[in-house]
């Protein structure tokens, strides 16, 4: 039976790490940056450009500024244009690439709205990783080098709002609603390795149910 495990996660919840653990323990392909690299190649742009726009909706000012030039006629300065694809086109391209990968390979997909764009099948298991703010702040300070708790909190709030808006805009679904996933887990309750083992056990039992 084909295996596709998707992980949606709040920043600082450890969801990406849990995904890596699950992939390693089940000997599955871990899918993350590869999708961005392939999308950049197909759009003919830099990977950083795709990464900056993945899982987010372009802001009002980004869209406005993309059509403006700056400076006097003498300076003749034109800022680099935004890539010539819309948020919807990028979302659909990432989904198309994810589907190609998931059709060929048993895998763990982190982010990229995998739970929403990949077709449901008996071997699919969607997970949402969340955690209390205090837990997330500690991880963000450690992993992203935020200098203060206030800086970490600002990063978390911006990320949460960005992902919430993105999922709503692209899928009309509520990103944090547990009904949209097979399992919703508070990653602060157990060591992350134990959380991965618990999710693997749930997945195996789900697949065993006829």
CA–CA separation, 39 vs 94, rounded Å? 6
> Please, which residues have CB within 8 angstroms of residue 115's CB and are 6 or more apart in sequence?
6, 8, 126, 128, 180, 181
Q: Whole-angstrom Cα distance, residue 201 to residue 182?
A: 13
Share of the chain above pLDDT 70, in %: 87
First CA to last CA distance, the chain: 13
What are the DSSP E strand ranges found in 33-91? none
pLDDT at 145: 84
∠ CA 17-22-23 to the nearest 5 degrees? Answer: 95
Q: What number of other Cβ atoms are within 10 A of residue 197's Cβ?
A: 15
pLDDT digits (tens, 9 = 90+) for 149-162: 999 999 999 999 99
Residue 109: strand pairing partners: 6, 31
* Per-residue pLDDT reduced to its tens digit, 68-125: 333 434 444 344 445 577 889 889 999 999 999 999 999 999 999 999 999 999 999 9
Q: Specify the pTM.
A: 0.84
Backbone angles phi, psi at 46, to 5 degrees: -75, 145
CA pair distance 144, 152, nearest whole angstrom: 8
Question: Does residue 79 or residue 5 have the better pLDDT?
Answer: 5
Q: What is the mean pLDDT of the chain?
A: 87
- Position 57 scores a pLDDT of 67
Q: Which domains does the chain have, with CATH numbers?
A: 4-208 (3.40.50.300)
Residue entry with tokens 């000997």: 27
Residue 146, token pair as written in the block: 């935020």
The rounded Cα 104 to chain-centroid distance in angstroms is 21
- Which of 30, 51, 127, 123 lies closest to 94, judged by CA? 51
Mean pLDDT of 163-175: 94
Radius of gyration over every alpha carbon of the chain, rounded to an integer in angstroms: 19
What tens digit of pLDDT does each residue of 38-77 get? 998 988 888 888 887 777 766 543 443 444 333 434 444 3
The reported pLDDT for the residue numbered 61 is 38
Q: Mean pLDDT, to the nearest integer, of 161-181?
A: 94
């Amino acid at each position: 039976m084909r295996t596709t495990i998707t992980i949606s996660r709040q920043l600082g919840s450890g969801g990406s790490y849990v995904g890596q653990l699950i992939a390693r323990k089940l000997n599955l392909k871990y899918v993350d940056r590869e999708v961005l690299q392939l999308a950049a190649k197909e759009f003919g742009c830099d990977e950083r450009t795709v990464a900056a726009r993945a899982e987010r909706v372009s802001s009002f000012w980004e869209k406005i500024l993309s059509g403006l030039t700056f400076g006097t006629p003498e300076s003749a300065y034109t800022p680099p244009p935004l890539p010539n694809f819309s948020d919807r086109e990028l979302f659909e391209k990432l989904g198309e690439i994810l589907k190609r990968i998931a059709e060929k390979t048993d895998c763990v997909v982190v982010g990229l709205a995998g739970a929403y764009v990949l077709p449901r099948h008996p071997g699919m298991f969607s997970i949402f990783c969340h955690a209390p703010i205090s837990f997330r702040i500690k991880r963000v300070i450690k992993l992203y080098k935020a200098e203060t708790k206030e800086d970490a909190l600002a990063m978390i709030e911006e990320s949460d709002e960005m992902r919430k808006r993105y999922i709503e805009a692209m899928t009309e679904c509520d990103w944090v609603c547990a009904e949209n996933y097979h399992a919703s887990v508070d990653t602060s309750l157990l060591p992350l390795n134990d959380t991965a083992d618990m999710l693997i056990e749930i997945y195996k039992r789900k697949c065993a149910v006829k």
